[in-house]
Amino acid sequence: MKGRVIALGRLAGRNAAALMVDGQLEDLLIDPPQDHHLAPGAICRAVCQRPLKGQGGMIVGLPDGTGFLRASKGLRPGQTVLVQVSGYAESGKAVPVSARVLFKSKYAIVTPDAPGINVSRAIKDEEARVRLLEIAHDLMDPSGTTGLIVRSEAEHGEDDAIADDMRAMTDLAAAVTSDTNGQGPELLVDAPDAHEIAWREWGQSDIFDQSATAFEDQGVLDLLDQTLAPRVTLAGGGHAFVEPTRALVAVDVNTGGDTSPAAGLKANIAIARDLPRLLRCRGLGGQITIDFAPLAKKDRRQLEQVLKSAFRADQVDTTLAGWTPLGHFELHRKRERFPVGDLEVK
């Protein structure tokens, strides 16, 4: 099926969302289990517990467990601080949180303590930029301490819908940041679920299906096994294995039956182009090590450019660390999604 399809449904008893582009599963979101409380995006009042010397961070008490706040300058034990969950924690570790709290919606991001009104650089049309700035200035106090970023999706929105969206976010930000009466840890804003993230982040679509049978009707279930399997078939006859371990995600690239001189380069370029999608659909993050097929050193720069181009278009923050002495390539990816792992999703 050609075009973009967004399907909202349920997998394993949880909300899930799937994005398909030209018949390929391009993205998959699924809520964490019910016993997992703090997901990325949740905003909490936390209590500072103890600094971590040498790491420049602070352990903070959260409504359910502990968090790790990296930037802790000026904070002291017992002090309350507003934080936002920034990623999923590895098993047995504190939840990563940030003191830079953002209120994000479809058309706008409200930034407390970061004044100013800005429009996404992705919006190139000057008339659209002026129109959106006028809407924002009508709602925001330029002399205030709260800022606003107009997101790229606002270019396609109706003026009233954009204004309502901005107003809702600014009102929520004002209510949360003014809640200074509480003393103990408290959840102030729940994290968005898979359906809300899909509505907020995936933009326009040719088909938007949120019926009870959306996954069956749009063929999502038929693509899950193929997309989530450890073995990935690559264009040109090669294949790769994407396998998470406790320490890292291992990606092993093979040329398969192709014995031509360029077989290694072709397989490596194929996995480099498809790796962001494969990691998104699996919800994988953290350290990622790629064992590329045999590759001449003179071809490394070309492969690096392909990787940079592929991850530049990806919404999940990814750092390309570079080559190791053994010839592997390392990445570090933000853990902002719950890993699908061996979950029985059908």
Segment 319-345 mean pLDDT? 86
Segments making up each domain of the chain, as ranges: 1-31+193-228, 43-98, 103-192, 229-333
The answer to whether 43-98 and 103-192 have equal CATH topology is no
Q: Does domain 43-98 have CATH number 2.60.40.2310?
A: no
Report the pLDDT averaged over residues 181-190: 87
Please identify, in words, the CATH class of the domain defined by 103-192: alpha beta
pLDDT band at 84 (very low <50, low <70, confident <90, very high): very high
CA 54 to chain CA mean position, Å = 29
Tell me which amino acid residue 251 is. Answer: V
In the structure, what pLDDT confidence band is assigned to residue 10 with cuts at 50, 70 and 90? very high
d(CA 212, CA 257): 43
89 with 66: CB under 8 angstroms? no
Mean pLDDT of 231-253: 92
pLDDT tens-digit readout, 296-313:
999 999 999 999 999 998
Q: What is this structure's pTM?
A: 0.89
Closest CA to 346 of 257, 253, 168, 224: 224
The architecture in CATH of the region 229-333 reads: 3-Layer(aba) Sandwich (3.40)
Name the maximum alpha-carbon separation found in the chain: 70
pLDDT score recorded for residue 346? 46
Contact 38, 85 (CB under 8 A): yes
Q: Which residues contact 232 (CB under 8 A, 6 or more apart)?
A: 239, 240, 241, 242, 271, 274, 278
Give tens-digit pLDDT for 128-159.
999 999 999 998 877 788 999 999 999 999 99
Distance CA 191, CA 173 (A): 14
Q: What is the pLDDT of residue 344?
A: 53
Question: What is the C-alpha to C-alpha distance for residues 137 and 325, in angstroms, rounded to an integer?
Answer: 53
Q: DSSP for 282-335?
A: HT--EEEEEEPSS--GGGHHHHHHHHHHHHHT-SS-EEEEEE-TTS-EEEEE--
Which residues lie closer than 8 Å to 245 by C-beta, 6 or more apart?
none
Average per-residue pLDDT for the chain: 91
Q: Mind listing the pLDDT tens digit for each residue in 211-238?
A: 999 999 999 988 888 888 899 998 878 8
What six digits make up the tokens of 15? 């909300």
For the chain, give the percent of residues with pLDDT over 90: 73
**pLDDT in the model for residue 343:** 57
Inter-residue contact 246 to 93 (CB < 8 Å): no
Find the angle CA(256)-CA(259)-CA(264) to the nearest 5 degrees. 70
CA distance 188 to 175: 10
The angle at the Cα of 47, spanning 46 to 48, to the nearest 5 degrees, equals: 120
What average pLDDT does this structure show over 246-258? 90
Q: What is the mean pLDDT of residues 186-215?
A: 93
- Give the separation between CA 243 and CA 252, rounded to whole angstroms: 9
301 CB contacts (<8 Å, ≥6 apart)?
none
Identify the three-state secondary structure at position 233: strand
In contact, 29 and 198? CB cutoff 8 Å:
yes
- Supply the DSSP symbol for 97: E
